[in-house]
Amino acid sequence: MCGIVGYVGREPAAPVLIESLKRLEYRGYDSAGITVLNKSLETYKTVGKIADLESILPEEIVANVGIGHTRWATHGKPETRNAHPHMSSSISVVHNGIIENYLQLKEKLIDLGYVFESDTDTEVIAHMLNYKMYNGKKKIDLLTAIRETTRELEGSFAIAALCSDEKGCLVFARKNSPLVLGIGDDGYYAASDVTAFLKYTKKVIYVDDHEIGAVRPDCIEIFDPKGNLVSKETHTIEWDLEAAEKAGYDHFMLKEIHEQPTAIQKTFAGKLMELEGTIKMDELYLTPEQIKHLRRATIIACGTSWNAGILGKYLFEKLAGIHTDIETASEFRYGNPVLCGEELTIAITQSGETADTLAAVRSSQSYGCRTVAITNVVGSTITRESSSVVYTRAGPEIGVAATKTFTAQLITLYMLAIYLGRVRGVLSAEEAKNLIVNIKRLPGQIQKILNRKDKIKECAEQFADKRDYFFIGRYLNFPIALEGALKLKEISYIHAEGYAAGELKHGPLALLTDETPVVAIATKGHTYDKILSNIKEVKARDATVIAVANEDDTEIEKYVDEVLRIPQSHEMTAPILTSVVLQLLAYYTALANDCSIDKPRNLAKSVTVE
């Protein structure tokens, strides 16, 4: 995700800002910039790495106040004009989050004579601050201006701003986007997380939602929404720098599992049109007529992305009425695929650099197929080679075992299927509304699972010494069974296999013993009775069964040994919740076996060679 830094103190600001931005590189970014306040505002920004930003800075910058930013493109392409900070005359702003009503605000500001230089939502904040300070009946200070401005902003934000008329002052505001302040011997710091300034201080103040404030050379002031001065507790960080990058979690994987509510919310932000019963897909360069005449879709992917693609196949056929094939990217080119121009190829790749998937896309395009890439990395190779790109907004994922990128891919496939179904007339507005409502509930439902993860940990520890696992599911739960098995084998080195539950009797039952735990995905839906029958088959072979079931299902306990619960949910969206449970099961199993979780043996995060 994007990163904010700020500094007010006695030291030169530019080196502090650059060092702090480097500490936030792990969050992922495509551009970076800083503004320092001396006699006037001086802003430097560029596309690329922090090193590229350093190369354009003057040798000496005399300033003790500044703000900086690493940007992950959301509104507007990765271009220098879209990089932060954004200016409006005497004001400079950096911002993380999404301003959902920025278009309405932008229109008003244009009518007032403001000229926009970027495509971002952030620039409206700079112009609004300028308008509040200088175009009212009386001039107000920057702190008052940010209080009035944030009252009009809808969405999420962490904001830091400077004004050339207020030397030595940095103002900030927060809503649904992290912001923390640091108290050092030589100054004060502001950042998206403590990693940015941990080199300088371990004393921090956490800014809460809806709070605003000012950082000055001699003090920090924080105010609540009513304008009352707030007294905040100072915390001392105990982590070393490496641990701080993990935000206090023992492993990046666990941190990234916990980031899924935010990752999912960012992925669907601005796209769910609940009232209209459809999805906003402006980035999909297909006309309604082209969509209506699609004969077939082919999903191409590898590994975890391939498991997501299997679920995508079910979604496209159910919701959009499009016959869909799922292909392993590494095999696609060698099977003489039969394709034509009235087909859609959907390539799923977290990194956008997976060599097999890139090769398959190029092969597909040679047949004249339209291609859509689903990826998490702005500016990656696949984004330049596909007809359309739909971004997941999971942010950087450092752990090799995909977690939040997988669920973000699933959300993207749900949205794409709903959109295609509505355009093709297969899915009614009412059906789409129902699905959209349930998609919106997912972040909160995932948080419930995370809040009671101790039960999953206990279950994992109970069976951590087993050397074989089976995962079974039907219909939408089949690809989640595959993914659950993949997660377990990736990081715990336990042999695990995922099966369509009905296939057990075609061979796999021969491998079952009382030493083989079977994870049965038994969430409520039209295959529930069938999975119960499969569970009985398994129990007849003396295997232990761990069921993943809805929290209100009291029937399941009669047939299984352990039950891991998900919140009550729609049959179509339950697989996303189940996947979080299985991620935690794999994590705690690996932890119990003292495995290298973030960097499992023999595996790489991105496979860039065939």
- Whether residues 68 and 186 fall in one domain: yes
- Whether residues 494 and 416 fall in one domain: no
- Whether residues 234 and 367 fall in one domain: no
280 is catalytic: no
- Report pLDDT for 607: 55
- Report pLDDT for 28: 62
Stated pTM of the model: 0.68
Q: How far is CA 246 from the centre of its chain?
A: 16
| Sheet of strand 324-328: strand arrangement | 324-328, 296-301, 343-349, 370-375, 388-391
- Whether residues 165 and 17 fall in one domain: yes
Residue type, 133: M
- Whether residues 254 and 241 fall in one domain: no
- Whether residues 190 and 330 fall in one domain: no
- Whether residues 266 and 397 fall in one domain: yes
Domain end position, chosen among 224, 245, 266: 245
User: H helices then E strands: how many in the chain?
Assistant: 19, 26
605 is catalytic: yes
- Whether residues 351 and 407 fall in one domain: yes
Residue range(s) defining the domain that contains residue 197: 3-245
- Report pLDDT for 608: 39
- Whether residues 30 and 177 fall in one domain: yes
The DSSP 8-state label assigned to residue 99 in this structure reads: B
- The residue from 108, 167, 457, 605 that is catalytic is 605
Q: CATH number, domain at 138?
A: 3.60.20.10
Domain end position, chosen among 387, 412, 446: 446
Q: Comparing 194-208, 398-412, 570-584, which segment has the lowest mean pLDDT?
A: 194-208
Rg (CA), the chain: 26
Given a cut of 70, whether residue 605 has pLDDT beyond it is no
DSSP 68-89: EEEE--SSS-S-GGGSSPEEET
Residues 6+ apart with CB under 8 A from 388: 283, 284, 285, 286, 370, 371, 372, 373
How many domains is the chain built from? 3
- Whether residues 138 and 282 fall in one domain: no
Residues 78-124 have pLDDT tens digits of 889 999 999 999 999 999 888 989 999 999 999 999 999 999 999 99
Which residue would you say has higher pLDDT here, 383 or 210?
210
Q: CATH number, domain at 271?
A: 3.40.50.10490
- The residue from 2, 302, 369, 459 that is catalytic is 2
Query: Rounded distance, CA 235 to CA 237, Å?
Result: 6
- Whether residues 9 and 94 fall in one domain: yes
- Whether residues 8 and 117 fall in one domain: yes
Given a cut of 70, whether residue 300 has pLDDT beyond it is yes
Domain end position, chosen among 429, 446, 463: 446
